[in-house]
Structure 1
Amino acid sequence: MSIREQIAFLEELSAIDSEIRRIDEQLDKQRGSLEGMRSDLKGLEERLKRDRETLAQIEKTRSEQHVELRQMSSQIERSREKLQRSRNERESNAAQREIEELRKLHRDREEEIERLNSASEGARSAIDVAEAKRVDLAGAIDGSAPGTQASLAALEAERAQRADARQQVVGKLPVVLYRRYESIRTRRPVAIARTYDGTCLGCHLSVPPMMFQKMRRQEEFERCPNCNRILYYMPPEPATGSTPAADPSRA
């Protein structure tokens, strides 16, 4: 197999690999988008669960505070009756102190209930907002999932076709050249580069003149000393309408 034929197969393989890379990027993007929405939905559902548990605890505590408030009101009434029945100043002062302490506790419970009322309203508001987001996100997932799955299936089918075509091209290349290609491709997405004037079109740096002169004979592949890509000489295409110039490598 001539080096020109090998160049053609290498370029075909590189083009296929570029297409497969493009397809893989699209697959990752679409899968990531759908998975991202599902992850967001899961996060919202977990947040709603925590907020509802918090609200339930607030409601329980507020109910207990209301019970205590009613009990204190009853205690205050009994202390007032005790004050009215007091027979001396000592009993009167004791009943008065008891009433004052109960009133203070009563006010503390009222303030606590007000705080719990505000916390309950805030929790309900947060739940309503999160629930609305959850409904919208679930609808978006339900609406986009079929289209995304169809798009993923089409991309996966296209990728399979490209992979089959790749295997056919790989079978036409010398094993040593293909291994060299794959070794470079693990470090660089594009493993090949051409030159027509002594400049590697992969890294746009000049190669040694002696290497370039050797490459112009198109007898074997070289490796760019700068980017390590498989480098080969390809004479420039003549301008449209002009007379093809003689290939200097044949001089």
Structure 2
Amino acid sequence: MTISDQIPPLEELSAIDIELRRIEEQLNKHRGQLDGMRSEVKTLEDRLKADRETLTTMDRARSELQVELRQMANQIERSREKLNRSRNERESMAAQREIEELRKLQRDREEELERLTGAADGARTSISDADGRLTDVSRALEGTAPGATESLATLDVEKQARLEARAQVVTRLPTQLYRRYESIRTRRPVAIARVVNGICLGCHMSIPPMMIQKMRRLEAFEQCPSCVRIIYYYQAPAETASSADPSRA
């Protein structure tokens, strides 16, 4: 198989790989979109569960504090009655100290209740916001998933067809050339490039004249000194017509 015979399947292989890369990018885009939305739904559900558990704990603590405050109010009232019934200074001072200690505890519990009430209100707002966002994302997912799933199925079919066509093209290339192509493709998405007017169309750098002369004789494929792609000389149609017309010789 001559170099001229190898160029068409090599170009066809490169075109298929470009299409496969495009298909893979679209597949990743659709999968990423669905995965992102599903991940957000899961995150919101976990957040709502944790926030609701926290709110339940805070509401329970608030209820306990309210009960404790009512009990303290009753204790303070009894201490006042004791103060009123005191028969001497000693009993009066003891009752007064008891009232002051109870009032201090009462203020502490009231401050704690106020803090818990603010935190509970904040938790309710957070739950409401997260619940609204969850509803929006879930609806968006329900609307997106069928279309995205259909697109994924279509792209998978297209990808499989391209892979089958690729396998057929590979059989038309020498094994050594294909391995060389694959090795370059791990570093360069497009592993081949034409050389036109002494310029590599892959990196737009000049090719040494000696290499161009060798390529024009179609002795072997070369690699661009700059981008390392497999390069081959492309004879422009005008140049071909000129060489074929004896009057232009």
- TM-score in same-fold range (> 0.5): yes
Q: Mapping of 1:72-151 within 5 angstroms?
A: 72-151=72-151
Q: Which residue of 2 aligns with 1:2?
A: 2
Q: Give the fraction of aligned pairs with identical amino acids, expressed as a percent.
A: 64
CA distances 1:198-229 after superposition (whole Å, capped 9, x unpaired): 21111111121111111111232111122111
CA offsets 1:115-173 (integer angstroms, 9 cap, x no match): 22211111111101100101111111111111110000000000000000001100111
Deviation (angstroms), 1:37: 0.7
Q: Which amino acid aligns with 1:205?
A: M
Q: Which runs of 4+ in 1 moved over 6 A?
A: none
Partner AA of 1:14 in structure 2: S
Which stretch of the first structure deviates more once superposed, 89-98 or 102-111?
Answer: 102-111
Question: What TM-score comes out, normalization by structure 2 length?
Answer: 0.94
Counterpart CA distance in 1 for 2:237 and 2:89 is 120
* Residue type at the aligned position of 1:244: A
| 1:127-206 correspondence runs (5 A) | 127-206=127-206
What whole-Å deviation, never above 9, does each CA across 1:21-49 have from its counterpart, x for those lacking one? 00001101110111011111111111111
Q: TM-score when scaled to structure 1?
A: 0.93
Which ranges of structure 1 fall in alignment gaps of 5 or more residues? none
Q: What is the match of residue 222 of structure 2?
A: 222
Structure number with higher helix proportion = 2
Q: What count of residue pairs does the alignment treat as equivalent? A: 245
Instruction: Determine helix, strand or coil for the equivalent of 2:198.
Output: coil
Letter in 2 for 1:10: L
Q: Which of 222, 239, 244 in structure 1 is aligned with 2:241?
A: 244
Q: Distance in 2 between matches of 1:210 and 1:84?
A: 118
**TM-aligned CA deviation for residue 237 of structure 1:** 2.6
Q: How large is the RMSD of aligned CA atoms in angstroms?
A: 1.5
Aligned with 1:228: secondary structure? Answer: coil
Match in the other structure for 1:28 = 28
Structure 2 partner of 1:49: 49
